[in-house]
Amino acid sequence: MLCDICQKKQATVHLTEIVDEVMAELHLCEDCAREKSIKMEQQFSLADLIAGLSDFGNKQAEDTEKVKVACLSCGLTYENFRKTGRLGCSDCYTTFKKYLASLLKKIHGSNQHVGKAPAKLPKVMKVKSELQELKTRLQYLIETEAFEEAAKIRDQIRELENKEKGQK
C-alpha cells in the first residue's frame, strides 16, 4: 500500500484520526509520518495541556504565594512550571504538592493512585477501600458545602463501619 500523502513510498504507519466524530484512516510512509507528527506536536502538546490545566482553579488568593514557591533542588519556580507544564526534578512533586493535587485530580479523576485490585480481594479490604473513597468524597462535599449529600455519605460510612465491626 502506498503512502496517502506522497504516493511514492510504501506505507508503514497507519494513523486513525477522529475529528468531530468523523473517523479517517491515513496510511503513511515513515517520512510523511514524521512530518505529520511534528505538525501535530506544534498544534498541541501535552505540556501545553498541563500548563493550561494548572491555570484553572482558585488563582486569586494563591497567585502571590505561588510566584514565591521554588524547588530547593533544581530551582524551578511554580510560575515556570505553569508556563512549561513540566517539573524539573523528583523533589518538585514535594515542593509543589499543594498545587499539584488539584491538577492531578483534574487530569486523572483522583490525586491518589488507587491501582487495580485482585478479583478475589478479601471483603475486609473491599470495605476499607470503599470507606476510604466515601471519606474522601465526604470531605469534598463538606468543602463545597453540599451538606445534604454529605449527610447521606456520612450515613453510608457509618453503615460500612458497623459492617466492618461485625466481620471482625
Spans of all domains in the chain: 13-44, 47-108, 123-167
d(CA 62, CA 65): 5
Higher pLDDT, 11 or 20: 11
Helix (H) or strand (E) holding 18: strand 13-19
pTM: 0.37
Query: 3-state class of 27 per DSSP?
Result: strand
Quick: pLDDT tens for 32-82.
888 877 666 555 555 555 555 555 444 444 454 545 788 999 999 888 887
Phi and psi dihedrals of 27, rounded to 5? -115, 115
Residues 75/88, Cβ–Cβ less than 8 Å:
yes
Residues facing 70 on adjacent strands: 77
